Amino acid sequence: MAERLDGAPDPAALAAGELVVGDDGLVRPAWAAHDPLLRDYYDREWGRPVRDERGLFERISLEAFQSGLSWRTILAKRPAFRAAFAGFDPDAVAAFDAADEARLLADAGIVRNRAKIAATIGNARATVALRPAGGLVALVESFATAPPIAPRRAAEVPTRTAESAALAAALRARGFAFVGPTTAYALMTAIGLVDADLVGAHRRGARREAPA
């Protein structure tokens, strides 16, 4: 992996379409350049810190539901997910029972996967149980130790790292499910623990800034 070296976009990445100059003059990675929903998510949310328990529980839940699907699909369904899972209030979701599981399995607005639904309810209970030990946010933040990277091409961005494997193991040891190393790395990049943006993209280097 290249050393951290923020700067101008790689001309080859621009030529290959991995980086795209938008109509507003801002450079974005290809995945965030064309679809309005993904573009807004990239500009406003991706890589920004999430330091509240409910917000982090939501991100973990949505990353789990994304497994095997596109992130765009999950984003489009996020309002329905929030409605179905009580705004991702961990206390409320932890109290869900068999009737709630049946309701969720019948909700066409979300991803109707029995294992992922059960995992989300279990993860809510694990989140609540973590509070006496410092809480979910403190646990996840303790893994903000990954070495910096400066990818110039998408192929240089890893899908998992030693740190994401350690985070996944720590979460599973505390009762969380659907949190493998790949899902954990996606979470780490989404909440700014790792800056995996391509060099030259306009959000590069802004991972730890306060939310907009």
Q: Which residue has the higher pLDDT, 8 or 159?
A: 159
Q: What does the pLDDT read at residue 208?
A: 52
Which residue pairs from 175-180 have beta carbons closer than 8 angstroms and sit at least 24 positions apart in sequence?
A: 175/122, 175/123, 175/125, 175/126, 175/129, 176/60, 176/119, 176/122, 176/123, 176/126, 177/64, 177/118, 177/119, 177/122, 177/123, 178/64, 178/67, 178/115, 178/116, 178/119, 178/123, 179/60, 179/64, 179/123
Is pLDDT at 167 greater than 70 in this prediction?
A: yes
pLDDT tens figures, 34-70: 999 999 999 999 999 999 999 999 999 999 999 999 9
84 inside domain: yes
Q: What does the pLDDT read at residue 10?
A: 75
pLDDT tens figures, 17-33: 899 999 999 999 999 99
Active site residues: 41, 63, 71
12 inside domain: no
Q: What does the pLDDT read at residue 8?
A: 76
DSSP letters, 13-71, are HHHTTSEEE-TTS-EEEGGGTS-HHHHHHHHHTTT----SHHHHHHHHHHHHHHTTS-H
Q: What does the pLDDT read at residue 48?
A: 92
118 inside domain: yes
Is pLDDT at 173 greater than 80 in this prediction?
A: yes
- What is the count of structural domains for the chain? 1
DSSP three-state, residue 177: coil
Is pLDDT at 3 greater than 80 in this prediction?
A: no
59 inside domain: yes
pLDDT tens figures, 109-148: 999 999 999 999 999 999 999 999 999 999 999 998 777 7
Find the domain containing 105 and state its range.
53-190
pTM for the model stands at: 0.90
27 inside domain: no
20 inside domain: no
CATH number of the domain bearing residue 103: 1.10.340.30
Angle separating helix axes 36-44 and 71-84, nearest 10 degrees: 80
Percent of the chain with pLDDT over 70: 94
Q: What does the pLDDT read at residue 148?
A: 79
Six-digit token string for 21:
């100059």
Q: What does the pLDDT read at residue 205?
A: 79
On average, the pLDDT of the chain sits at 91
Nearest to 59 by CA among 148, 114, 109, 120: 120
Enumerate the H helices of the chain as residue ranges: 11-15, 36-44, 53-66, 71-84, 90-94, 98-105, 114-130, 136-141, 162-173, 181-190
DSSP three-state, residue 96: coil
